[in-house]
Copies of this chain bind each other. A is one copy, B any other.
């Protein structure tokens, strides 16, 4: 247990006072550039016709973009580096009425991982230009996947796929 930081806590909100557990490491694979340079400029949800954003991939991972251009939609995961991660119940409207963190897409969560479905615009020089993000400029990038809806596994069929 550590001393909970109650700065900015709203009426009814509940903190988990335990320290963050170190169960696994995330490595940042790049940086996301967006026009949203302050939290207030970030939309609550990205729009597929919003501004172009740039997923800048570190040199050692750039080869992993091979073949990505064939997908129209991608899932992007990123680390919401400015978010606290100890709120269990939140009051988004600041009314005293609370909602559980897992019933919200708030950036405040035990693992502050953001997830957006984005439209691929183009790939250029170790970067992917996309539309649909909602995150702060310079947010650390942690993964890019083809969106599930248009993805067919490359690996051969196996019996468990009939389930």
Point out residues on A near B: beta carbons under 8 Å.
Answer: 14, 16, 18, 20-29, 36, 40-45, 47, 50-51, 57, 60-61, 63-68, 70-71, 75, 77, 79, 81, 85, 88-89, 92-93, 98-106, 109-111, 113, 115-117, 140, 142-146, 148, 151, 153-156, 158-163
Contact = CB atoms under 8 A, between A and B. Distances in A.
Q: Count identical subunits in the complex.
A: 2
A37 to B, nearest CB: 11
A94 to B, nearest CB: 9
Given A23-B26, A113-B142, A60 B18 contact: yes
A53 to B, nearest CB: 11
9 cross-chain pairs, A with B, having the tightest CB-CB distances, nearest first? A66-B100, A67-B103, A92-B154, A21-B27, A64-B101, A92-B155, A102-B144, A44-B153, A64-B100
A102 B155 CA distance: 15
Nearest to A22: B25
Nearest to A55: B102
